């Protein structure tokens, strides 16, 4: 098997299909045309840029470049997770909590996998390190964004319940125990669904890509299973950490509910 290279004309055909969709939504006045076109342009531009960068980083194979790229990816993911919140923590705490959680879970998982499981030499070989970290960050980001959003929304709406519990002698974390549980679940559901549906309802994107690129299906499947487990681990621990950091921030040292630390977007 060998890779069939795509020409610009091939991509233009696919872009034409998206344009057809945009034309249809515009005719139906669905109000999503602009967003659709912008998103499509962003996809092409961002991926093209990343392609150029990856080509350069792959050619260099230097730890500094890989680390720099990983760091930029982390910051972008942290920003993305923070802007998805309807009620953000004031003073950039949401960005901090999300980014710190992502850093700890994704980076530890990625490095451990490179060193212990894949055992590639050197461990930061960009061909392995960057895609691995990218998949981890992307999924962890989703989990963290969903869970933080759920946490702050639930506590905001349930402030009355929280304060009644506090007044009855509960400490801060006891007072939001069910909200924390909901937030955790919200963050983990996409990952749980993806694991449950993998191979039956959906063919995972990475595996599909590998097969299209000419890998034997069995090899692609093994990598996909590895990735699924890593995503589960990274997302799980990242979400756990983010919910913990967010929950703590909602109370002060006197266990007062501090909704003034949230602001509505």
Site stretch for another protein (CB under 8 A), options 49-57, 128-136, 201-209, 250-258: 250-258
Which of 167/265 has CB closer to another protein?
Answer: 167
Q: Encoding tokens for residue 248? A: 């703590």
Instruction: Tell me 260's DSSP state.
Output: G
157 is a site residue for another protein (CB under 8 A): no
Residue with tokens 């989703």: 142
Candidate residues 10, 55, 61, 178; the one interacting with another protein per rule CB under 8 A: 178
185 is a site residue for another protein (CB under 8 A): no
Number of residues that bind another protein (CB under 8 A): 18
* 203-to-43, 133, 195, 213 alpha-carbon distances in Å: 21, 20, 11, 15
Candidate residues 43, 60, 127, 164; the one interacting with another protein per rule CB under 8 A: 164
Q: Do the beta carbons of residue 250 and residue 155 sit within 8 Å?
A: yes
Q: How far is the CB of 171 from another protein (least distance, A)?
A: 5
156 is a site residue for another protein (CB under 8 A): no
Q: Encoding tokens for residue 29? A: 């006045």
165 is a site residue for another protein (CB under 8 A): yes
91 is a site residue for another protein (CB under 8 A): no
264 is a site residue for another protein (CB under 8 A): no
Q: What DSSP line would sit under 164-232, residue for residue?
A: HHHHTT--HHHHTHHHHHHHHHHHHHHHHHHHHHBTTTB--HHHHHHHHTT--HHHHHHHHHHHHHHHH
158 is a site residue for another protein (CB under 8 A): yes
219 is a site residue for another protein (CB under 8 A): no
């Amino acid at each position: 098997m060998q890779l069939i290279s795509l020409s610009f004309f091939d991509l233009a055909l696919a872009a034409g299909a998206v344009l057809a969709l945009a034309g249809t939504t515009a005719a139906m006045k669905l109000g999503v045309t602009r967003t659709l076109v912008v998103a499509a342009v962003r996809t092409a531009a961002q991926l093209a840029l990343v392609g150029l960068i990856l080509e350069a980083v792959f050619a260099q194979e230097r730890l500094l470049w890989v680390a720099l790229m990983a760091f930029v990816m982390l910051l972008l993911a942290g920003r993305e997770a923070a802007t998805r919140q309807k009620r953000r923590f004031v003073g950039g705490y949401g960005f901090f909590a999300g980014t710190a959680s992502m850093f700890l879970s994704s980076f530890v998982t990625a490095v451990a996998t490179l060193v212990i499981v894949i055992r590639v030499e050197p461990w930061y070989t960009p061909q392995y390190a960057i895609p691995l970290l990218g998949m981890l960050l992307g999924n962890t980001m989703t989990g963290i964004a969903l869970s933080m959003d759920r946490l702050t929304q639930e506590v905001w709406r349930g402030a009355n319940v929280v304060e009644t519990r506090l007044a009855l002698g509960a400490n801060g974390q006891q007072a939001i125990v069910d909200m924390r549980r909901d937030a955790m679940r919200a963050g983990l559901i996409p990952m749980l669904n993806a694991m449950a549906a993998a191979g039956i309802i959906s063919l995972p994107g990475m595996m599909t890509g590998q097969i299209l690129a000419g890998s034997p299906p069995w090899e692609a499947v093994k990598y996909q299973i590895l990735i699924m487990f890593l995503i589960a681990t990274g997302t799980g621990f990242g979400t756990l950490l983010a919910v913990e950091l967010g929950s703590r921030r909602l109370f002060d040292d006197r266990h007062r509910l501090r909704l003034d630390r949230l602001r509505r977007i």
